[in-house]
Structure 1
Amino acid sequence: MSTNTNNTATKPRKKWAKLAVAILVAVGCLGVVVLFAQWMRTLPAVQDFLTTYPGHVELPATASVGLPAWLGWQHFLNAFFILLIIRSGWFVRTTARPKEHWTRNNSGLIRTQGKPAKISLNLWFHLTLDVLWVLNGMIFVILLGVTGHWVRIVPTSWEVFPNALSTALQYASMNWPTENGWVNYNSLQVLAYFTTVFIASPLALITGLRMSGAWPKNAANLNKAYPIELARAVHFPVMLYFVFFIVVHVALVLTTGILRNLNHMYASNDGAGWTGFWIFAASLAVMVAAWFLARPLFLRPLASLTGKVSK
């Protein structure tokens, strides 16, 4: 009895010890990167490179200045959906025996041998969020095209790559570039936003669709050309990319002028007041509440509106 108790108490300690070691290793690696980048900046060739490529590419004269209000709403909704998608997707991946399931009321697309398929409540929540996220993304892309705001996040010159390298070196050396996101993003931001919107998001969509019950099971040729194993091999790394992007994005927002950055994203102004901060705080409270409310007790009534929830 005492042996089992000791083993149970030891497991959490080992987990915390591994976490502590991982944090120490990460901090050590970060320190090495900073020192190496600072040394590189002392080299004449690197200094010339930074002068030639300061970190951004000039936008076309027709590009608009500022960030519109619709972009702030899109930013919040995208953050809200992607946060819950990551949470629900992780539960789908790690829950071996789901306790609750959902079955659609009518035929729909998800069927097994002619009958509506039974899926876990976690998967139902994940797929529902996916649909909302995709709809939000479609509206975002349409607005980018209609308003001409696309020039802010789509590379229009090959010079974006050396300028992105310059920006990365400046960040790594802790001597950060002078920038003004209200007028123009730096090249590293442009590549990150372009990758997120036009590469990672479509990959998440097409791989998630392949793994869903809506995919035609009897299309032999299609399934052979696009095997589910390929979708699984891509879908999880894409999720990790989103996690990495969010962590870095939030860290830079908080450390490169938090009030001004939050005003850009949430208050649609270039000031240094507190309006954007309080809007951000309110949106963060909504996301935290949704995180804790996304559990069977609250999901069951929602899922019951479109299907039957069973244990």
Structure 2
Amino acid sequence: MTPARTPVLLRAIYGLFGAAALALCVFMLVFFTRWLVSLAPVAGFLAEYPGAAPMPAGSGVGIPAWLSWTHFLNAFFLLLIIRSGVRIRGEKSPSGLWTSRRVKKRRMSLTMWFHVAVDVLWMLNGLVFVVLLFATGHWVRIVPTSWEVFPHALSALIQYVSLDWPTHSGWTGYNALQQLSYFAIVFVASPLAILTGARLSAFWPRGADRLNRLYPLDLAKAVHYPVMLFFAGFAVVHVGLVFATGALRNLNAMYAGQDAVNWTGFWIFTVSVLAMAGGWVAARDRVIAPIARLFGDVRMRGR
């Protein structure tokens, strides 16, 4: 074995051991939680707080078409945001440079321009979602209306970890842990992503010394990337639980707008995944550059 291959092999071995250790920790956590649930005080707690999100009876029932569409677009734009964000962090030398035609000093890498452009589309979609959420009364699905949501959320978490899934129906409402998670995504993580992203962008007023002292660049950097990781982690867990807790019914509710167990929602979901995969593949310089030229001047590296 050549010396050059030794570090690669060691990294692979360390990776396998790390994955095995993580899997062992997960199994131990599950078995510990199942033992915990068998104790009388914990069983009594789960009986008193089964995990349902307290909300007004009969409100927010069903998944309207606008929610399905904004849900898909949110996932589509987030995928591109994460893709471009990861590329920005690893880009030592930009492949292209975008410059505003109105403000010549306003310039950024082509990847950064794409990141900001998709951010704007994501924010517009989010604005439509929030307006319709409150206009139609569906806000009660993701906004807690009682302090009891917290013990119910703890109960749901215990049930999830024990692999004894809490009873829920995406058609009529979410369990308490889902409700808190969606509330955090929409009303906490999303505003943080927007505020920190604005501070890091070329559109931030660099000459506003007082504002820049109140909101330092380092603070925005320290928050923005962890927020992106939170979005990515949430997406993985969210999709995993959709498939683990009744995939056909869950997909039908969100994508087909019906409370039924059939394959309609699954096939619509499949088409949406293909569209997202197409967007991922298309998000490259030869596609981005012509679009960026509609809004400014683009100079590719070496030209």
1:130 and 2:119 aligned: yes
- Residue type of the alignment partner of 2:248: L
Q: Of the candidates 75, 79, 85, which is equivalent to residue 79 of structure 1?
A: 75
Contact 1:106 1:116 in 2 (8 A): no
- Residue type of the alignment partner of 2:28: V
Deviation at 1:12, TM superposition (A): 4.3
Deviation at 1:21, TM superposition (A): 2.8
Q: Of the candidates 265, 268, 277, which is equivalent to residue 288 of structure 1?
A: 277
Q: Of the candidates 83, 86, 103, which is equivalent to residue 99 of structure 2?
A: 103
Counterparts of 2:60 and 2:181, CA distance in 1: 20
Contact 2:60 2:139 in 1 (8 A): no
- Residue type of the alignment partner of 2:174: Y
Show the counterpart of 2:30.
34
Deviations 1:45-70 (A, max 9, x none): 00000000000133213513111111
Q: Of the candidates 37, 44, 47, which is equivalent to residue 48 of structure 1?
A: 44
Contact 1:263 1:272 in 2 (8 A): yes
1:174 and 2:163 aligned: yes
1:277 match: secondary structure: helix
2:297 match: secondary structure: strand
1:308 and 2:297 aligned: yes
Show the counterpart of 1:61.
57
Using a 3 Å threshold, how does the CA distance of structure 1 residues 62 and 42 change in structure 2: closer, same or farther? closer
TM-score between both structures, scaled by the size of structure 1: 0.93
Deviation at 1:41, TM superposition (A): 0.7
Counterparts of 1:152 and 1:248, CA distance in 2: 19
Show the counterpart of 1:110.
none
Deviation at 1:145, TM superposition (A): 0.8
- Residue type of the alignment partner of 1:22: G
Using a 3 Å threshold, how does the CA distance of structure 1 residues 15 and 104 change in structure 2: closer, same or farther? farther
* Structure 1 consecutive aligned stretches of length 4 or more whose deviation exceeds 4 Å: none
Deviations 1:151-185 (A, max 9, x none): 00000101000000000000111111121121120
Using a 3 Å threshold, how does the CA distance of structure 1 residues 12 and 290 change in structure 2: closer, same or farther? farther
2:207 match: secondary structure: coil
TM-score between both structures, scaled by the size of structure 2: 0.95
The Cα RMSD (Å) is 1.5
Using a 3 Å threshold, how does the CA distance of structure 1 residues 266 and 12 change in structure 2: closer, same or farther? farther
Deviation at 1:11, TM superposition (A): 4.9
Uncovered stretches (5+) of structure 2, i.e. residues with no partner? none
Uncovered stretches (5+) of structure 1, i.e. residues with no partner? 108-114
